[in-house]
Structure 1
Amino acid sequence: MLKFRLYYDKDAEEDWLKKMSLNGWAFKKFFLGFYTFEPCEPGEYNYQIDLLDNWNGDKDNYSSFMEDVGVEVVGQWWRWVYLKKKTADGPFEMYTDVESKIAQYNRIRNFFKVFFAIEIICFLMELVATINTGHYIGGIFTVLIGLISLALLRIVWKCKLKIEQFKRNEK
């Protein structure tokens, strides 16, 4: 089965993959918003999504380490890694202590901050061009870029709130 979804929120994406597994569909691969699934026993797998520290990490080492702990690397898209583990093998949580959770959400927040900054620059450039030319097509693109900027700002803000929540719960 092939499904199309766009997610900016790692947690929401993980929840959706878990729900698909509960409905008897195992996540097989991902490419540009297209998720491929294959039939499985309902609830057979649990999923986690990880953001690698950098683009040039040793992917073979990472995959080998994951396999050693009973986790399968389903796929990787850029720095995002999709992982699955059989539910019968026990709970699956990549980051269990507060410090590692904070570090993970800091990485995610910083990752999206870069794209947010780029989108804001594009938005301002498009806004100026639209004002100068007066073309309504430019206005449509300005609104579209503005909406993308807001979506990125939302995920940056959500990560910030999660980090603050982890810090409060740590005390």
Structure 2
Amino acid sequence: MLKFKLYYDKDEEEDWLKKMSLNGWAFKKFFLGFYTFEKCEPGEYNYQIDLLDNWNGDKDDYAAFMEDTGVEVIDQWWRWVYLQKKASDGPFEMYTDVESKITHYNKIKNFFKVALVIEVICFFIEFMATIKTGYYIFGMFTILLGAISLAILKIVWKCKWKIEQYKQEKNM
């Protein structure tokens, strides 16, 4: 089965993949919003999504390490890695202690901060083109870039909020 969804929140995407597994669909492949699924036993798999530290890291070592822990690397899209583990092997949580969760969400927040700066720059360039030319097409792209910028800003805020929650939990 092929499904199209656009996620910009990895937690929501993980929840959706888990629901698909509970409905008997195992995630197999991702490309530009297209998810491929195969039939499986309901609830057979749990999923996590990880963000690699950098693009040039040794992906083979990462995959080998994951396999040693009973986790299968399903797919990778740029720096995002989709991981699967049999539900019968127990709970699946990549980051279990508060400090590693804080580090993980800081990494995601910083990743999206860079994307936000790029989108805001593009927004202002497009906005200036709209003002100078008066063409509606530039205005439509300006609105689109503004919406993308707001979506990315929401991710940054959500990560910041989660980090603050974990810090409070750590201090308790």
Corresponding residue of 2:103: 103
Corresponding residue of 1:89: 89
Q: Distance in 1 between matches of 2:56 and 2:33?
A: 23
The equivalences for 1:118-137 within 5 A come to 118-137=118-137
Corresponding residue of 1:168: 168
Q: Distance in 2 between matches of 1:60 and 1:151?
A: 33
The equivalences for 1:3-22 within 5 A come to 3-22=3-22
Q: Secondary structure at the match of 2:37?
A: strand
Q: Distance in 2 between matches of 1:59 and 1:74?
A: 13
* AA partner of residue 86 (structure 1): K
Task: State the superposition RMSD in angstroms.
Answer: 0.5
Q: Secondary structure at the match of 2:101?
A: helix
Q: Distance in 2 between matches of 1:103 and 1:38?
A: 33
Corresponding residue of 1:139: 139
Corresponding residue of 1:116: 116
Q: CA deviation at 1:137?
A: 1.1
TM-score with structure 2 setting the length = 0.98
Q: Distance in 1 between matches of 2:76 and 2:125?
A: 33
Give unpaired runs (5+ residues) of structure 1: none
TM-score with structure 1 setting the length = 0.99
- Deviation string 1:51-75 (CA, Å, 9 cap, x unpaired) is 0011111111111111111000001
Q: Distance in 2 between matches of 1:32 and 1:122?
A: 21
Q: CA deviation at 1:36?
A: 0.2
* AA partner of residue 76 (structure 1): Q
Give unpaired runs (5+ residues) of structure 2: none
Q: Secondary structure at the match of 2:7?
A: coil
Corresponding residue of 2:32: 32
**How many residues are paired up?**
171
* AA partner of residue 114 (structure 1): V
Sequence identity, in percent? Answer: 77
Q: Distance in 2 between matches of 1:85 and 1:110?
A: 27
Q: Distance in 1 between matches of 2:62 and 2:142?
A: 41
Q: Distance in 2 between matches of 1:54 and 1:98?
A: 22
Q: Distance in 1 between matches of 2:163 and 2:13?
A: 19
Q: CA deviation at 1:132?
A: 1.0
Q: CA deviation at 1:136?
A: 1.1
| Shift >4 Å, 4+ stretches | none
Corresponding residue of 1:50: 50
Q: Distance in 2 between matches of 1:55 and 1:139?
A: 34
* AA partner of residue 14 (structure 2): E
